[in-house]
Amino acid sequence: MDRPFGLLAELTYRCPLACAYCSNPLELAGYDDELSTADWQRVFAEAAEMGVLQCHLSGGEPLLRRDLVDLVRTAAGLGMYTNLVTSAIGFSRPRAEALKQAGLDHVQVSVQADEPVTSDRIAGIPSFERKLQAAALVKDLGWPLTVNVVLHRQNIDRIAEIVALVEELDADRVELANTQYYGWAWRNRAALLPSREQLARAEEVVRDARARLGDRMEILHVLPDYYSEYPKPCMGGWASRQITVTPNGDALPCLAAHPLPLPPASVRTDSLQTIWDDSPMFRAFRGFGWMRDPCRTCERRELDFGGCRCQAFQLTGDATRTDPVCHLSPDHALVTDAVDRANAGSRPLDELLVPRPHRG
């Protein structure tokens, strides 16, 4: 593809939750100068002109932006499918009705577990009941509902109960996505990475649920990269399908690309079109010319594109290296060592998590 079809608009990194698996940057001070309403409206117009079809409004917590209704109205008016990705804190009926009237197409609500004690502990604040109320409101107002559950060592054993909860909420889609180890999740990796036994039980639950539910609910189950033989085709290839814009206006090919040592691209100084076509951030890992062996000569290079550049940098300090998840990577031991520790018999399942600081 020579044009993106999705825009992830990270409107703010402020968030009432303190999730220990948050993938937002560790250092957030540089993102306090948020784009204005007019800035975001210009970005949306430029995205639509490029052919972007989907606008995902995320954060942090996008409901903390007072101009959210205006931003939804702009994106919807440009013909983009709009999706609100929210913790549901602050999703009151008046706000929801205003978003519905503005043209919001879809709502995705995050849930941390199937019962309040575990959910509130993982989220860092009492929030479980409010999430259930928000999910009910989404259905009451006629939106499609996606429930997102980030899976990890401390909730994956409850996956059957989580699926039952999502059924009760009458969700149209559930994302059971194992933690990606960036940001705060990287700091908590030892306490979050599940064991092989946990993953095997979870896969069995998902298979049974898919057979039982059929077309009633779409179930997306994302396995942990660390247990894969080959890496996932991250983002379908670097800078090929989606643009992420952060609260301060930085443009990225991937939501985890903040720390990569590449010249920043910003919508404050350049158009989305210019950034997509010409910026080093977006051109760095397109195609295959940047690849080293074993990726350069691998028959899978057009399937997984060498894996995740952000993960390669996170684990090795060099974004051009083969993703260490791949069993052919010379750095694969960095992953297998972490997996071996996660499967040590003495490892507790409720290890202490370091919560992400609140930024409300």
Binding positions for [4Fe-4S] cluster: 15, 19, 22
Residue 99 to residue 260: CA distance in whole angstroms: 35
Whether the ω angle into residue 60 lies within 30 degrees of 0, i.e. cis, is: yes
CA dist 301 and 69 (Å) reads: 42
Q: Considering Cα of 295, then 300, then 305, then 311, what sign does the dihedral take?
A: negative
Give the three-class secondary structure for 266.
Answer: strand
Cite the beta strand spans of the chain per DSSP E.
6-10, 54-58, 81-86, 106-110, 145-151, 173-178, 218-222, 242-245, 251-252
Structure token pair of residue 1 = 């593809």
What are the residues whose beta carbons fall under 8 Å from the beta carbon of 114, sequence distance 6 or more?
Answer: 158, 161, 162, 164, 165
Q: Is the dihedral of CA 228, 19, 204, 210 positive or negative?
A: negative
- Output the known binding site: 15, 19, 22
Question: Which phi and psi (to 5°) does residue 252 adopt?
Answer: -135, 150
Strand 242-245 versus strand 6-10 pairing type = parallel
Phi, psi of 263 (to 5 degrees): -55, 130
Q: Going by C-beta distance under 8 Å and a sequence separation of 6 or more, which residues neighbour residue 326?
A: 229, 230, 231, 294, 304, 307, 332
Q: What's the rounded Cα separation, in Å, for the pair 232 and 191?
A: 23
Q: Classify burial at 105, counting beta carbons within 10 Å of its beta carbon; exposed 0-12, middle 13-18, buried 19 or more.
A: middle
